A and B are shown apart, each in its own frame.
Chain A
Amino acid sequence: MGRYVFSRLTESFVVLFIISIVAFGLVHLAPGDPAMALYGDQIQKMRPADRERIRENLGLNRPLPVQYYKWISNVLKGDMGRSFMTGRDVKTMLMERFPGTLILSSTATLIIISLTLAIGIYAGMRQYSFFDYASTTVSFILMSVPGFWFAMMLILVFCVGLKWLPSSGFTTIGTDFSIFDMLKHLILPAVVLSFTHMGYYIRLIRGSVAVAKEQDFVTVLKSRGIKNSAIVARHIVRNAMIPFVTYLGVSISIMLAGSIVTEAIFAWPGLGMMSVEAANNRDYPVLMGTILFSGVLVVGGSLVADLFCA
């Protein structure tokens, strides 16, 4: 066990190191210039010498390996740098945006767990029944419909048509914060985010329940006179949960890393929206910060899930 933990930890660090290089590389090799983004059209009017000075101030004229070394050693010291655009500390910005993503993804996770477990277990226990076929069809629809389209449809129905729910933001602008108001804003993004994951989980649970219920030990338990309901709840579901928990760990961390599409559509102030903004602005430190932070969450999430299952 100790050895396993150690090897999984080392593995995680190696993966994070690679992520940091990829994050740095992608951001710096992508076309576009922070100076341009920062000053927009004005940059055309600038003299080349001025442009060079801006690049130097931002530290962009040095060789890439040197820049990487400087960045990563600061990160390891806990300093993720400052935004090119606003000059604010990246770490502070991440911490400001993280709660938004946390609220959104935990709501989505709750929806995923409760609905997919109920549907998947029921379908798996009654394989090839009408309910099973219906849930399979629905899962494939959920898997193939893109999240943004689904979001548009919901907005059309609930915001434009019925006018029941707001279509964007965290709270209504110009009002005092109220939980109820926030929940109303939360519903649609949480539904969209969970539905894009749900098809896979229904399939996953349904499949592993169907496999588990055919295991030899189920017959053995029946032969001991244990109630069917107890066999399902204690044994079949418990066995079927193992892959579910593993994947859920990964899904949760992916959602925590910020759901770019969902957050962007609903203007939900989370990490996903922050990275979209940073990418548009060529705000290298913020962008690298969000990518690295996401990496830590995803790698850490699967590490926790694996150790939990072991």
Chain B
Amino acid sequence: MVKNLKRSGLTKENINCAPVMEVVDLSTSFLTAAGEIKAVREVSFSLFAGQVLAVVGESGCGKSVTARSLLRLIDPPGYIKNGWVLLNGVNLLNLTEGEMRRLRGTEISMVFQDPMTSFDPVYTVGRQFTEALMAHEKISQQEAKQQALQMLSKVSLQDLERVFNSYPFQLSGGMRQRVMIAIALAMKPKVLIADEPTTALDVTVQSGILAELKRLNKETGSALLLITHDLGVVAELADRVAIMYAGRIVEIGSVYDIFDHAQHPYTRALLTSINPIQEDGGLTAIPGQPPDMANVPPGCPFSPRCPEALRQCRQKEPEQYIIAGEHWVSCWRAESEERKISGA
């Protein structure tokens, strides 16, 4: 466990500012007709107050499943196989469903990709806001409305009364996403997860929304887990970056570590892809396809596409090696005894 905690990024530098959330060896699978899909495999990372951890990776690599696992929102045929999701030292995976429910929205919140389908079309956004507040606090409709309006004013919305009384379809995508963020942050959660919060939005409003997230994250001191395809966004917003491939985190480190000292060939390939965003939101410019998740090849899952693959890459999954401080990588090329954290 101590070994594992170390792997989650808890090191000398941040030991005195203990992480808000620690995720250790989290694995989530889907049992389908095609067999067990190991969507997330032994993923470990930590989230620190007021900091942004960006998770980057190709479509289907398990980013959303990881995010939803933290909230225990995995529906059958999926299930969380094992691991720890520690929030203030409590393993969320051991809580009852009722205890977990009370933490959702209050301690951990989530902002989703598509702000159109994320609202129930038959209620006003205001009603959905107060509903979220009243699910956790014993307050009247009026008090809830006051809190909601106050929160809406913090996400740079104007004409609050009108926004409050609007149905989702009456608001623009950007406005809906701002309301979404306001609801997510209303109860001052310690952890905010944003799963591609701007992918579905107009390019012109994307940067505004992201800037808002960053500002509120600093203001409220919550930890932000930001899932994105956009390395430009990562460079601008993130404090630390986790690179995911085929259900694993293959490299994690500070923005500086990742952008200037990338160790994993996959990370470097991502960085050199000049125009990384495709219409469907996939990353391009890396030859080959990510593996079929129901059928991950033996060895390092990236080896079939890796320009630097060694023979052992195709036979055995690499272990994890510390490069420096909280920067570690899972690649045979970084192999050396003293860097070794643990077996994969």
Contacts and interface: CB of A to CB of B under 8 A. Distances in A.
Interface of A: 215-217, 219-227, 230, 234-235, 238-239, 242
Interface string B63-74: 000001001010
Interface string B128-146: 1001100110000000000
B110 interface: yes
A223 B119 contact: no
A223 B135 contact: no
B101 A216 contact: no
Nearest to A226: B135
A217 B120 contact: yes
**Chain A, interface SS category:** helix
B112 A219 contact: yes
A217 B119 contact: yes
Contacts of B136: 225
Contacts of A222: 71, 73, 104
Nearest to A223: B110
A225 B104 contact: yes
Contacts, number: 65
Nearest to B135: A226
A220 B112 contact: yes
A239 B128 CA distance: 14
Contacts of A217: 117-121
Contacts of B117: 215-217
21 contacts: A217-B117, A217-B118, A217-B119, A219-B112, A220-B119, A221-B120, A223-B73, A223-B109, A223-B112, A224-B104, A224-B132, A225-B101, A225-B104, A225-B105, A225-B136, A226-B105, A230-B135, A234-B131, A235-B120, A235-B123, A238-B120
Q: Assign chain B's interface to a size class.
A: 20 to 34
B114 A238 contact: no
A234 B110 CA distance: 21
Closest 6 CB pairs of A and B: A225-B104, A225-B105, A216-B117, A224-B105, A224-B132, A223-B110
B101 A227 contact: yes
A243 B122 CA distance: 13
A225 B183 CA distance: 12
B103 interface: yes
Contacts of B128: 221
B106 interface: yes
A227 B134 CA distance: 11
B110 A239 contact: no
Given A216-B112, A224-B183, A238 B122 contact: yes
B316 interface: no
B120 A223 contact: no
Contact of A239 (B73, B112, B120): B120
